[in-house]
């Protein structure tokens, strides 16, 4: 064996435990400063995952090595290190779980707690009591044993807090526990001018609404007799800020120890732990260090010193947290409520502690900024995928590595969220215009859905109330179908179409309409908002299908993409990306206008499952329909819209004949989905029928109005996706920064409870 290899083996044998312990400590510190994931994207998420995984693995590995054997030379420090490793395994207060699955598998943490506690106790027993005669010649309890025992007890308590936090953060358990006790909440008005601290306190008061939405327990139904409308009639960003803070607090419940820390037991632990760790630090300082190696002493000082610092950090954080305000506010008869809240001393204490934050001192950072959503919404465009300029060599290498490592989903996230994502909350003019238009449209929908409830009339005695007549029972009816779906079984059974299919069809319709009406590169906020929302919904289909209701069918967008690429290969290349997209749109229109002569007598086996079938084929099926029904419907709908607003397409049949009772078995009813997306087209058709024969159809609607209809249709689809997405999906995505649809969903929950002002009411 070479000499250098022998020296390397000797070095590793001597430093292996030290390296693992330092690695465990580094992972613990990394979690402390990086685990807040509401703004974590890309590399930050990777760092958090590595730190979380390492913080789980390193203490267990090191405890195993320490329990197998230790040399007498540094035997005294082994017990302290074992106790500190358990301290690290408990994790910091600002993270208990990396994902929602950790909460579901929380019983696994119970087993790990038992094993690691027994491992640390075994080391303590072996090194303190069995080898007690080697350590101490004068009798009595050794200082090292006292230090180790104190740290071990606090480590067990903090590890237990983590296990209880994970157990309590399971959605089903939260649902069952929330039914046991319902507290009356005093509502606080949302003012149009509020500081970030006031917004956070309002969010604490309204948190029960968000929590009830996540656990599907709306026990806080609003009493119409005592209704106090607090939501304004017009959109204001204060409303978004309140909901954003509520989701941040919900993140605390699901993925941190907040639910355990902010209890009497949690506060007692936070006040006790810093003084115990400080005492152990000074005990070790005063203890004799003869025969101990300097590296071991230095490592022990680092571990104990940072443990003391972090303990004081968690104490100050707990005192200054608005969770403490909420905890005391729910206990009006407690003496701390009167001495801290009523006298406003808590706010003074909070402001003083917050002013000590290094981020506030060095970078003048807003104390609540870490709670903010990143404001990024992913962007994915089918046309751009086929006509884009391609990837740089760095992205090609990254994509190749991701595919080889089976990290395709991570690549899609990086590419279409981190790299191409639209920053909705940016202060740029373009972002603010899109943001305001989107939120205002959502608010208008909510205003229509949730008007104020009039006060109930004075209730009469029950004896005077007439017995209500029973309504005749009617047989249950199937939900009204929307359009044909591309699967034979679903067509036979009259199933509703896949929601993803509707998004993709409308995505194709939107792009073709904008391209052929020369509006695609328009700088107007209206067009920009349409493109952003369209690409965002396509992003959810392609990258985050779990955030959409219904089946998660990747084959739908993959089939449409492959069909687009096939059509792109037949088009002439152009140096301009927009020109290439326009050429592709023209090619699709040409194929949609061209009838398919082979459609008659076609074999059933020629149809591709999941794309089209013989039942869904309309009488005037085109060549494009034979390739992909999504592209065909999207192109056909775009032609109908273009026929209303453009002279170039005045020969297009814009008549939409829809039966009152559509059926999937009647393929002539092709435009039902288009009418559902833009109901105004039916009124336009009625006006056109009543008009004179020589009237120009372009006078019935302007291009700007049609763009408004397209945008409103996208907002309607976005709201449907928000409220129909599963609660588990909203909770899972909250661990990785959150989603815009989650914000829209919680806005809807608030509007449904508090209602929204009418135009003639004052704020």
Every domain of the chain and the residues it spans:
3-171, 488-725
Q: Is the predicted pLDDT of residue 547 greater than 60, yes or no?
A: yes
The residue-averaged pLDDT of 647-661 equals: 55
User: Can you say how many angstroms the Cα of residue 694 is from the centroid of all Cα atoms in its chain?
Assistant: 54
Note whether 502 and 627 are within 8 A (CB).
Answer: no
Q: What is the pLDDT of residue 182?
A: 53
- The whole-number pLDDT of residue 484 equals 33
Strand (E) or helix (H) holding 472: none
The pLDDT of residue 271 is 96
pLDDT at 709 over 80: yes
Would you state the structure tokens that stand for residue 718, as one six-digit string?
């976005």
476-503 pLDDT tens trace: 333 333 333 334 444 444 455 678 999 9
Compare 223 and 416 and report the one with higher pLDDT.
Answer: 416
Angle between helices 43-68 and 75-89 (to 10 degrees): 140
**Alpha carbon of residue 357 to chain centroid:** 28
DSSP for 1-40, please give it: --HHHHHHHHHHHHHHHHHHHHHHHHHHHHHHHH---SS-
Q: What is the pLDDT of residue 451?
A: 79
Q: What is the pLDDT of residues 137-147, one digit of tens each?
A: 444 446 777 88
CATH 1.20.190 fits 3-171, yes or no: yes
pLDDT of residue 152: 87
Coil, strand or helix at 104: helix
Highest mean pLDDT among 41-50, 81-90, 121-130: 81-90
Quote the pLDDT of residue 107.
80
Question: Could you tell me the two tokens for 426?
Answer: 């940016």
Give the residue from 322, 334, 416 showing the smallest Cα distance to 368: 322
Question: Pick the residue with more confidence: 379 or 236?
Answer: 379
More confident residue, 126 or 280: 280
Please determine, for residue 542, whether its predicted confidence score (pLDDT) is greater than 70: yes
Neighbours of 622 (CB within 10 A): 21
pLDDT of res. 302: 93
Say yes or no to pLDDT of 431 above 90. no
3-state SS, residue 425 = coil
pLDDT, tens digit, 9 for 90 and up, residues 565-579? 888 876 666 667 888
Q: Give me 629's structure tokens.
A: 């029904």
pLDDT value of residue 1: 62
Mean pLDDT of 280-294: 83
At residue 483, the pLDDT reads 34
Averaged pLDDT score across all residues of the chain: 78
Answer for the pair 142, 136: CB distance below 8 angstroms, yes or no: yes
pLDDT for position 226: 43
Q: For 185-216, write each residue's pLDDT tens digit.
A: 566 667 777 888 888 998 998 898 899 899 88
């Amino acid at each position: 064996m070479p000499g250098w290899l022998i020296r390397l083996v000797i070095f590793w044998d001597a430093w292996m435990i030290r390296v693992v312990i330092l690695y465990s400590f580094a992972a613990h510190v990394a979690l402390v400063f990086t685990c807040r994931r509401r703004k974590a994207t890309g590399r930050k998420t990777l760092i958090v995952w590595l730190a979380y995984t390492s913080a789980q693995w390193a203490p267990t590995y090191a405890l195993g090595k320490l329990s197998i054997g230790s040399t007498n030379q540094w035997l005294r420090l082994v017990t302290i290190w074992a106790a500190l490793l358990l301290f690290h395994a408990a994790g910091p207060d600002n993270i208990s779980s990396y994902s929602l699955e950790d909460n579901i598998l929380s019983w696994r943490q119970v087993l790990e707690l038992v094993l690691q506690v027994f491992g640390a106790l075994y080391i303590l027993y072996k090194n303190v009591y069995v080898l007690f005669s080697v350590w101490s010649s004068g009798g009595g309890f050794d200082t090292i044993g006292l230090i180790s025992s104190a740290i071990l007890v606090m480590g067990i308590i903090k590890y237990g807090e983590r296990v209880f936090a994970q157990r309590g953060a399971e959605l089903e358990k939260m649902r069952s526990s929330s039914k046991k006790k319902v507290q009356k909440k005093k509502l606080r008005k949302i003012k149009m001018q509020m500081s970030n601290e006031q917004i956070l306190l309002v969010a604490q008061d309204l948190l029960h609404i968000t929590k009830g939405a996540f656990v599907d327990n709306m026990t806080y139904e609003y009493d119409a007799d005592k209704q106090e409308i607090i939501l304004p009639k017009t959109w204001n960003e204060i409303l978004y800020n309140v909901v954003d803070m509520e989701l941040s607090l919900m993140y605390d419940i699901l993925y941190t120890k907040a639910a355990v820390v902010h209890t009497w037991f949690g506060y007692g632990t936070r006040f006790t732990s810093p003084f115990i760790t400080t005492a152990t630090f000074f005990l070790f300082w005063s203890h004799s260090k003869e025969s101990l190696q300097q590296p071991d002493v230095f490592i022990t000082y680092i571990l104990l010193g940072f443990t003391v610092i972090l303990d004081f950090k968690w104490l100050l954080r707990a005192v200054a947290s608005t969770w403490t305000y909420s905890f005391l506010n729910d206990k009006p008869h407690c003496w701390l409520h009167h001495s801290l809240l009523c006298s406003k001393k808590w706010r003074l204490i909070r402001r003083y502690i917050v002013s000590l934050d290094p981020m506030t001192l060095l970078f003048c950072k807003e104390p609540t900024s870490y709670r903010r959503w990143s404001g990024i919404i992913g962007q994915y465009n089918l046309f751009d995928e086929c006509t884009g300029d391609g990837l740089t060599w760095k992205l090609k290498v990254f994509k190749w590595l991701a595919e080889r490592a089976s990290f395709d989903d991570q690549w899609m996230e990086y590419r279409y969220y981190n790299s191409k994502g639209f920053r909705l909350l940016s202060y740029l003019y373009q972002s603010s215009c899109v943001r305001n238009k989107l939120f205002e449209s959502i608010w208008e929908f909510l205003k229509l859905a949730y008007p104020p409830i009039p006060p109930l009339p004075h209730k009469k005695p029950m004896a005077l109330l007439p017995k209500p007549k029973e309504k005749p029972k009617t047989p249950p009816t199937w939900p009204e179908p929307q359009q044909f779906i591309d699967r034979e079984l679903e067509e036979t059974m009259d199933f509703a179409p896949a929601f993803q299919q509707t998004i993709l069809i409308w995505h194709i319709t939107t792009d073709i309409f904008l391209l052929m009406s020369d509006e695609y590169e328009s700088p107007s906020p209206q067009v920009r908002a349409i493109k952003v929302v369209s690409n965002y919904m396509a992003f959810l289909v392609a990258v985050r299908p779990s955030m959409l209701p219904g089946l998660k069918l990747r084959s739908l967008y993959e089939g449409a993409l492959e069909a687009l690429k096939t059509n792109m290969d037949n088009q002439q290349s152009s140096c301009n990306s927009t020109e290439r997209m326009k050429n592709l749109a023209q090619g699709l229109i040409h194929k949609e206008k061209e009838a398919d002569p082979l459609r008659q007598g076609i074999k059933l086996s020629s149809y591709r499952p999941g794309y089209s079938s013989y039942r869904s084929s309309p009488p005037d099926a085109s060549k494009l329909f034979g390739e992909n029904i999504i592209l065909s419907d999207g192109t056909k709908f775009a032609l109908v819209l273009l026929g209303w607003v453009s002279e170039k397409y005045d020969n297009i049949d814009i008549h939409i004949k829809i039966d009152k009772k559509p059926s999937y078995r009647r393929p002539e009813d092709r435009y039902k989905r288009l009418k559902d997306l833009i109901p105004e087209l039916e009124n336009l058709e009625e006006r056109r029928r009543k008009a004179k024969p020589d009237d120009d159809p372009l006078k019935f609607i302007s291009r700007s109005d049609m763009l408004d209809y397209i945008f409103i249709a996208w907002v309607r689809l976005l709201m449907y996706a928000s409220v129909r997405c599963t609660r588990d999906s909203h909770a899972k995505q909250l661990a990785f920064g959150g989603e815009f649809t989650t914000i829209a969903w919680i806005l809807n929950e608030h509007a449904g409870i508090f209602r929204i002002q009418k135009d003639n009411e004052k704020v």
